[in-house]
Amino acid sequence: MTTVTMTVNGKSVTANVDPRTLLSQFVRENLRLTGTHVGCDTSQCGACVVHVDGRAVKSCTTLAVSCDGSSVTTIEGLAVDGALHPMQEAFREHHGLQCGFCTPGMIMSAVDIVNRKGNALDEHTIREELEGNICRCTGYHNIVKAVEAGARAMAPGATSIAAE
Amino acid sequence: MTTTGIGAPVRRKEDFRFITGQGRYTDDIERPGQAHAYFLRSPHAHANIRSIDVSAARAMPGVVGVLTGEDLAKDGVGGLICGWMIHSKDGSPMKAGAHPALAVGKVRYVGDHVAVVIAETLAAAKDAAEAIVVDYETLAPVVDMNAAVKPGAPVIHDVASDNVVYDWHLGDKAATEAAFAKAKHVAKIDLVNNRLVPNPMETRAAIGEYDAGTEGYTLYTTSQNPHVARLVLSAFIGIAPEHKLRVIAPDVGGGFGSKIFIYAEETVCVWAAKKVGRPVKWTSDRTEAFLSDAHGRDHITHAELALDERGKMLAMRVKTKANLGAYLSTFSSCVPTYLYAPLLSGQYDIPAIYCEVEGIYTNTAPVDAYRGAGRPEATFVVERIVEVAARELGQDPAAFRRKNFVRKFPHQTPVIMAYDTGDYAASLDKALELIDYKNIGKRKRESARAGKLRGIGFSAYIEACGIAPSAAVGSLGAGVGLWESAEVRVNPVGTVEVLTGSHSHGQGHETTFAQLVCERLGIPIDQVAIVHGDTDKVQFGMGTYGSRSGAVGMSALSKALDKVIAKAKKVAAYALEASDADIEFKDGRFSVAGTDKSLAFGEVALQAYIAHKFSGQDLEPGLKEGAFYDPTNFTFPSGVHICELEIDPDTGVTKIDRWVAVDDFGIVINPMIVEGQVHGGIAQGVGQALLEGAHYDETGQLVTASYMDYCMPRADDLPSFTVGATVTPCPSNPLGIKGCGEAGAIAAPPAVINALTDALGHEDVTMPATPQVVWRAARKAALRAAAE
Ligand code: FES
Ligand code: FES
Q: Please give the pLDDT value at position A161.
A: 62
pLDDT band at B437 (very low <50, low <70, confident <90, very high): very high
Q: Is residue B616 part of a domain?
A: yes
Closest to B636 (Cα-Cα) out of B785, B486, B413: B413
pLDDT 10s digits, B515-525: 999 999 999 99
pLDDT 10s digits, B360-370: 999 999 999 99
As assigned by CATH, the class of the A2-77 domain is alpha beta
Say if CB A162 and CB A89 are below 8 A apart.
Answer: yes
Say if CB A113 and CB A126 are below 8 A apart.
Answer: yes
* Cα B689 to Cα B359: distance, rounded to the nearest angstrom: 23
Which of A27, A73, A106, A141 to mutate against chain B (most B CBs within 10 Å)? Answer: A141
Q: In terms of domains, do B546 and B439 share one?
A: no
Residues 117-156 of A with CB under 8 A from B: 123, 126-128, 130-131, 133-144
Q: In terms of domains, do B656 and B787 share one?
A: yes
List Cβ neighbours of B449 (8 Å cut-off, separation of 6 or more): none
* Cα B160 to Cα B320: distance, rounded to the nearest angstrom: 19
Q: What is the mean pLDDT of residues B56-70?
A: 98
Q: What is the mean pLDDT of residues B735-752?
A: 96
pLDDT 10s digits, B281-318: 999 999 999 999 999 999 999 999 999 999 999 999 99
Supply the DSSP string of B497-508, one letter for each residue.
EEEES---SSS-
CA-nearest residue for atom 3, ligand 2, is A135
Q: How far is the CA of B200 from the centre of ligand 1 (A)?
A: 14
B102: alpha, beta or left? (left if phi > 0; alpha if psi -120 to 50): beta
* Cα B748 to Cα B740: distance, rounded to the nearest angstrom: 14
* Cα B368 to Cα B388: distance, rounded to the nearest angstrom: 29
Q: Please give the pLDDT value at position B1.
A: 47
Q: What is the mean pLDDT of residues B264-292?
A: 98
Q: In terms of domains, do B590 and B659 share one?
A: no
Q: What is the CATH number of the domain that holds B679?
A: 3.30.365.10
* Cα A111 to Cα B411: distance, rounded to the nearest angstrom: 52
Residue B549 DSSP symbol = I
Final residue of a structural domain among B629, B645, B677: B629
| Residue ranges of domains in chain A | 2-77, 86-158
Which residues of chain A neighbour B203 with C-beta distances below 8 Å? 39
Q: In terms of domains, do B638 and B787 share one?
A: yes
Q: Is the CB of A138 under 6 A from ligand 2?
A: yes
Domain range enclosing B593: 483-629
Q: How far is the CA of B367 from the centre of ligand 2 (A)?
A: 23
Closest to B164 (Cα-Cα) out of B97, B111, B240, B221: B97
Say if CB B453 and CB B744 are below 8 A apart.
Answer: no
Q: In terms of domains, do B639 and B527 share one?
A: no
> Counting ligands in written order, which one lies closest to the CA of residue A58?
1
Q: What is the mean pLDDT of residues B708-723?
A: 98
Number of domains in chain B: 2
Ligand 2 atom nearest to CA at A100: 1
Q: In terms of domains, do B489 and B579 share one?
A: yes
Closest to B721 (Cα-Cα) out of B673, B676, B757, B758: B676
Final residue of a structural domain among B595, B614, B629: B629
Q: Is the CB of A99 under 6 A from ligand 2?
A: yes
Q: Which residues of B15-42 are buried (b: 16+ CB within 10 A; e: fewer)?
A: beebbbbbbebbbbbebeebbbbbbbbb
Q: In terms of domains, do B511 and B607 share one?
A: yes
Ligand 2 atom nearest to CA at B200: 3
Cβ-Cβ pairs closer than 8 A, A with B, add up to 176
Q: Is residue B508 part of a domain?
A: yes
Q: Do A140 and B715 touch (CB under 8 A)?
A: yes
Whether residue A162 is predicted with pLDDT greater than 70 in this model: the reply is no
Q: In terms of domains, do B611 and B652 share one?
A: no
Sheet containing B589-592: which strands, arranged edge to edge? B583-586, B589-592, B598-600
Q: How far is the CA of B115 from the centre of ligand 1 (A)?
A: 27
Measured between CA atoms, the residue of chain B closest to residue A92 is B15
Q: In terms of domains, do B575 and B640 share one?
A: no
Q: Architecture of domain A86-158 in CATH?
A: Orthogonal Bundle (1.10)
Flag whether residue B32 sits within 8 Å of chain A, measured between CB atoms: no
Ligand 2 atom nearest to CA at A98: 1
Omega before B768 cis (within 30°)? yes
CA dihedral A152, A155, A157, A159 (to 10 degrees): 30
Q: Is residue B180 part of a domain?
A: no
The pTM assigned to this predicted structure is: 0.97
Q: Please give the pLDDT value at position A160.
A: 65
Residue B591: strand pairing partners: B584, B598
Q: Is the CB of B254 under 6 A from ligand 2?
A: yes
Q: Is residue B606 part of a domain?
A: yes
Q: In terms of domains, do B725 and B680 share one?
A: yes
Q: Is residue B604 part of a domain?
A: yes
Q: Is residue B9 part of a domain?
A: no
Q: In terms of domains, do B673 and B588 share one?
A: no
Measured between CA atoms, the residue of chain A closest to residue B716 is A127
Q: Do A102 and B201 touch (CB under 8 A)?
A: yes
Q: Is the CB of B506 under 6 A from ligand 2?
A: yes
Supply the DSSP string of B410-439, one letter for each residue.
SEE-SSS-EE----HHHHHHHHHHHHTGGG
Which of A28, A45, A62, A135 for mutating ligand 1's site (highest number of atoms within 8 Å of CB)? A45
Final residue of a structural domain among B588, B609, B629: B629
Task: Locate all alpha helices (DSSP H) within B158-280, ordered by sequence.
Answer: 173-182, 226-231, 264-276
Say if CB A144 and CB A110 are below 8 A apart.
Answer: no
Q: In terms of domains, do B648 and B773 share one?
A: yes
